[in-house]
Amino acid sequence: MSQSVEPAAGDSAEPWQRVHPASPFVHGWLAIIGLVYIYWQNTDELSWAERFSGDRLIWTVAGAGIALLVVLIFYFLSWYFTRYKLTSTHVYVNSGMLFRSQKQARIDKVQGIDIAQPLVARLLGLAELRFDVADSSESVLRLSFLRKADAHALRQVILQRARGGRPAHAPEAEQAAADAPAPADPQPAMQASPLMAKVPIGRLIASLFLQLPVIIGLLACLSMLVLWISGVEGIIAGLVPSVLAFGSWFYKQLNQGWNFTASASDTGMRISYGLADTRQHSIPSGRVQAISVTAPFFWRMLGWYKVEVNVLGTKSDDADNLQVLPVGDFESVARIMGILLPDLGVENQREVLATAVSTGSEHGFIGSPERAKPLSPGAWKHQGFLATGTTVISRYGWLARQASFVPHNRVQGMSWIQGPWERGRRLAGVRLHSAGGSITGYVHQIDADTAAEFIRAQTRRLV
Amino acid sequence: MATATPWSPSSFTPAHRDYAKVKLTTWAITWGVILLASLVPAVLAATGAGIALWLVLAPILLVLLLALLALRIIRRQVAALGYLEREEDFIVRSGVMWRKQVVIPYGRMQYVEVNSGPLERRYGLCQLTLNTAGTGATAHVYGLPEREGQELRERLVAAGEEQML
């Protein structure tokens, strides 16, 4: 992102364009609310009628008019100075009046483009483009806001250029899954995007309440509430922060699963979700570093799983792993795994996957020996691993059982570890570290000789 | 104690013996500060506050005990450090109670850092850090003589570039 700003020769045919005129409002609507709020606070003693009668009416109107004018001028300037341009090699975004910023991204380095719709933008039918550029770890290039159909079209054009294809191709290839009743493209453009998973809202809410952290959190809040009602006044100091912390965590989970759809695209898969904001991510299979399939305690009875991935770059700002399936049955898991990890390195892919997400030593899984029982009484039967031709599958966890899949060529480094109690029982573990998130291959408490043999064999597979 | 580690400890290049002195100095400074903090009740008692005797003695004894335990293990900890250069990857080992061997293939290396703090410089030592794209996959080599550190870095970078081709 550090090329010179001057556009390449021969691209002058593509003019600078401005974003949608409502963009400053979407960015700054909070400021307007704030102004109104301040006005209301300062005229608190007046009744509704007094505000708009007699001399006050003139002052109110004049004041509001001036404020509106100032805001409009700022909005206009902000809009006027925000311009973007697409050439055959770069995307340029200029913004700012006093503090100008000129950003550009090389199109051949663009790895993915996400479309985001904050609440107000969605009400106005606008969308923001977020460019995910290979050579910059942070500072995502953003272009906001465009009409939603324009945003999709532009995204498609840029992705095509990034792939080296000609822009003449039909632009509505892979986005249709996101907005089913899109009036902008009359074709039933589903041919390239078969729906792989969809999360019904009822199941999402049930799945959230069937997790132990949620149950414990709810019980804690409830007991504090009971204490408070029964007269322990001081407990309120603990209640408010816990309810807030729990509530925000819960909302985040809800938001990440709301209206969740996953569909296949020509490079990998696309997901979209969101309660207030609609988010879309494209996840090219080639950039997935590790996958984990989790089954929390109560979900196991229902046969539900959650799938998360470590993926380079495309994640939003937070450091969490990217959910590619908030809750789903084995069929959905198998479909998603088939896209993200098409070659599991075994012939009976489906059966191996079934063993991986449950318990058992079929298909060559090597488990913890029975002498691991005192160290992990709940988990030792589940713990185990399998190294296939392409991937290391490892199972671990007690209440929430996890299986992680790390392809050999994605392993960044490995650790062999042995604590004092494991040494006494001739056990050891191996961790396979990957990039792009916190999912690791977690080979836990297996026979020490097997562990040593495994890591030695694994070094030959990594190269 | 006879369980196998993946690579035999004797094949590793150990940390320089002077690194134990660095660790001892760090130990003295750290535990000196903690000991001072544990003297607070004693000082309060001396200035006339009514504090029970055991409250005065317990923190001091506890700190002394922990400090001695830490001291006992330092030499073994330093002896447990080591690195091993192989054809395709680089291995470091560490830990007495929690033993660990970390393998980084040259092809996954992103950059190599050589750092030295004031204490390490006094003994002519440095430490080398090998980073990859994965957060967990980082190898630290402690107690390297400065020249050896520079040479090791050159070798690692060269090996990494070879893998890139």
Whole-number average pLDDT of chain A:
80
Helix axes A236-257 and A212-229, enclosed angle (nearest 10): 150
In a domain, B123, yes or no: yes
CB B105 to CB A463 under 8 A?
yes
Q: What is the DSSP secondary structure assignment for residue A210, as one 8-state letter?
A: T
CB A414 to CB B3 under 8 A?
no
Averaged pLDDT, A237-250? 80
Residue of B nearest to A441 (CA): B136
What DSSP string runs through chain B? --PPPSS-GGGSEEPPTTHHHHHHHHHHHHHHHHHHHHTHHHHHHHTT----HHHHHHHHHHHHHHHHHHHHHHHHHHHH-EEEE-SSEEEEEE-SSSEEEEEEEGGGEEEEEEE--HHHHHTTEEEEEEEESSSS-EEEEEEEEHHHHHHHHHHHHHHHHHHH-
Confidence of residue B64 (pLDDT cuts 50, 70, 90): very high
Averaged pLDDT, A365-376? 91
Q: What is the CATH number of the domain that holds B101?
A: 2.30.29.30
First to last CA, chain A: 31
Q: Note whether A366 and A386 are within 8 A (CB).
A: yes
Given a cut of 70, whether residue A118 has pLDDT beyond it is yes
| Predicted pLDDT at A193 | 59
Tell me the range of A45-54, A234-243, A302-311 where mean pLDDT is highest.
A302-311
What DSSP string runs through A70-118? HHHHHHHHHHHT-EEEE-SSEEEEEE-SSS-EEEEEEGGGEEEEEEEE-
User: Structure pTM?
Assistant: 0.70
Q: What is the DSSP secondary structure assignment for residue A386, as one 8-state letter?
A: E
Do residues A383 and A331 share a domain? Answer: no
Given a cut of 80, whether residue A168 has pLDDT beyond it is no
Do residues B63 and B27 share a domain? Answer: yes
CB A417 to CB B98 under 8 A?
yes
In a domain, B109, yes or no: yes
In a domain, B99, yes or no: yes
CA A191, CA A185: separation in Å to the nearest integer?
Answer: 13
Averaged pLDDT, A399-411? 92
Given a cut of 80, whether residue A44 has pLDDT beyond it is no
Instruction: Please calculate the CA angle A227-A232-A233 and round it to the nearest 5 degrees.
Output: 120
Averaged pLDDT, A318-325? 74
* A76 vs B65: which has the higher pLDDT: B65
Residue of B nearest to A418 (CA): B99
Do residues B99 and B150 share a domain? Answer: yes
Instruction: Please calculate the CA angle B6-A389-A440 and round it to the nearest 5 degrees.
Output: 60
| Predicted pLDDT at A47 | 67
Q: B74 to chain A, minimum CA–CA distance in Å?
A: 17
Collapsed DSSP state (helix, strand, coil) of residue A264: strand
Q: A371 to chain B, minimum CA–CA distance in Å?
A: 15
Do residues B73 and B129 share a domain? Answer: no
CB B137 to CB A436 under 8 A?
no
In a domain, A293, yes or no: yes
Lowest-confidence pick of A279-288, A312-321, B44-53: A312-321
Confidence of residue A10 (pLDDT cuts 50, 70, 90): very low
Q: What is the DSSP secondary structure assignment for residue A8, as one 8-state letter?
A: P
Share of chain B above pLDDT 90, in %: 53
CA A140, CA A129: separation in Å to the nearest integer?
Answer: 10
In a domain, B6, yes or no: no
In a domain, B8, yes or no: no
| Predicted pLDDT at A175 | 39
Do residues B99 and B71 share a domain? Answer: no
The structure tokens listed for A279 are: 């988010």
Do residues A337 and A372 share a domain? Answer: no
Given a cut of 80, whether residue A43 has pLDDT beyond it is no
- Which positions 28-67 of B are in contact with A (Cβ < 8 Å)? none
CB B5 to CB A412 under 8 A?
no
Query: Residue A292: which of A446, A210, A401, A445 has the closest Cα?
Result: A401
Pick from B77, B107, B126: which residue ends a domain? Answer: B77
Given a cut of 60, whether residue A123 has pLDDT beyond it is yes
| Predicted pLDDT at A48 | 67
Averaged pLDDT, A216-234? 82
Lowest-confidence pick of A161-170, A266-275, B18-27: A161-170
- Interchain CB contact of B104 with A (< 8 Å): yes
Do residues B67 and B97 share a domain? Answer: no
CB A416 to CB B89 under 8 A?
no
Do residues A260 and A323 share a domain? Answer: yes
Averaged pLDDT, A237-263? 84
In a domain, B4, yes or no: no
Do residues A460 and A409 share a domain? Answer: yes
Averaged pLDDT, B97-123? 90
Pick from B59, B77, B95: which residue ends a domain? Answer: B77
Domain range spanning residue B30?
Answer: 19-77
Do residues B135 and B90 share a domain? Answer: yes
In a domain, A96, yes or no: no
Do residues B70 and B86 share a domain? Answer: no
Mutation test of the interface with chain B: which of A392, A411, A415, choosing the one with the most B Cβ atoms within 10 A? A415
Averaged pLDDT, A286-305? 91
Do residues A283 and A388 share a domain? Answer: no
Confidence of residue A448 (pLDDT cuts 50, 70, 90): very high
Pick from A308, A342, A376: which residue ends a domain? Answer: A342
CA A170, CA A175: separation in Å to the nearest integer?
Answer: 12
In a domain, B64, yes or no: yes
Domains in chain B: how many in total? 2
Lowest-confidence pick of A42-46, A171-175, A245-249, B124-128: A171-175
Domain range spanning residue A200?
Answer: 195-342
Tell me the range of A49-53, A91-95, A459-463, B93-97 where mean pLDDT is highest.
B93-97
Do residues A324 and A227 share a domain? Answer: yes
| Predicted pLDDT at A4 | 38
Q: Which residues of A touch B103 (CB under 8 A)?
A: 413-416, 455, 459
Domains in chain A: how many in total? 2
CA A83, CA A144: separation in Å to the nearest integer?
Answer: 10
